[in-house]
Structure formats: structure tokens, C-alpha cells
Homo-oligomer: A and B are copies of this chain.
């Protein structure tokens, strides 16, 4: 009716009932960028060589946030994550973050991957904000997801593998 599975015929928000779905192994990956001044990125690069703490803190924040996704996103189903990894690297634009998340469950883990990227990006922002107030979180999106009904649906800037 509403066109959205999370909105019922009377316009009310709801979780989607996945009770009848089987548990399957699923994985999702997402990425995003914290755009920043070249000087800020250079500071991170220099600091990384020595110790790596900006990235280490953001990685931990992203991993913990992935596990809290169903507490943050109201209509998300709780999932038992079996793997989370969060990687950060400096690029031309600033810092690029990629998260990959796995579960065996009844729904996909794309919200967990996107939440990990977003919170890792917010953490990078927090740690750099004293030297750069122009930073922007940008291009946070799903890279691909596997498992479930539509196995290996590839999206967003990756060549779809389906014919």
C-alpha cells in the first residue's frame, strides 16, 4: 500500500515480520569518506606512521557500533554478528572507510555495515575537529551484500554480476 515494507497500510511504522524466513549466512559491505583539508589528511598520515591511534579508535568505534545497530535504528532486527571488520585509509579526499559485516540470520546486515562506517566516520571527525571544521561525511553507501533471497546482489559503483 505505502510502497514501503516498514509502513503498514494505515501509515504506521513497523518492523518487517521475518519470523518465517530461514536463517542463512549473509555478508554486507559498505563504505564512506570523511572529506577534509589536505593539511588535516597529512597530519593523519604523519601520525599513522608513528602509532596509528586515529584509525585504531575509529575502527573500534565502528565495530562496537555495528553490534548496537538494532538499538539505534528503530525498525532494524537484532542480529548476532559473526564477523565485523572496519578499515580506514587516507585518500586524495581525506579518509576512506570500508566495513564488512557477516551474520547468520533472517535479514541482511547492510544496516550494520552502514552504521559501522558512519560511526567510524563520526569518530574520525571528532578526533580531527580541533584542527579542521570543514570536514564532511560523504558517499556513505552499500558496496555489496550476499546471502538471503537475492544472493550476491552487487550495488553502487561495483559492476553487477547478474546478467
Residues on A lying within 8 angstroms of B by beta carbon are 2-7, 10-19, 21, 25, 27, 32, 43, 46-47, 50-57, 59-61, 63-65, 67-68, 70-85, 87, 102-106, 110-111, 114-115, 118-119, 121-123, 125-131, 133-142, 153, 155-156
Instruction: Please name 19 pairs of A and B residues whose Cβ atoms are closer than 8 Å in the assembled complex, sorted by A.
Output: A3-B47, A7-B51, A10-B51, A12-B59, A13-B63, A18-B82, A19-B25, A19-B27, A19-B104, A60-B61, A61-B73, A64-B74, A77-B82, A80-B80, A111-B122, A111-B129, A114-B125, A118-B137, A133-B142
* Complex CA–CA separation, A14 to B63 (angstroms): 8
For A51, the closest partner residue in chain B by CB is: B11
**When the two chains form their complex, are residues A81 and B77 in contact, meaning their CB atoms are under 8 A apart?**
yes
Given A7-B54, A17-B82, residue A155 in contact with residue B129 (CB < 8 A): no
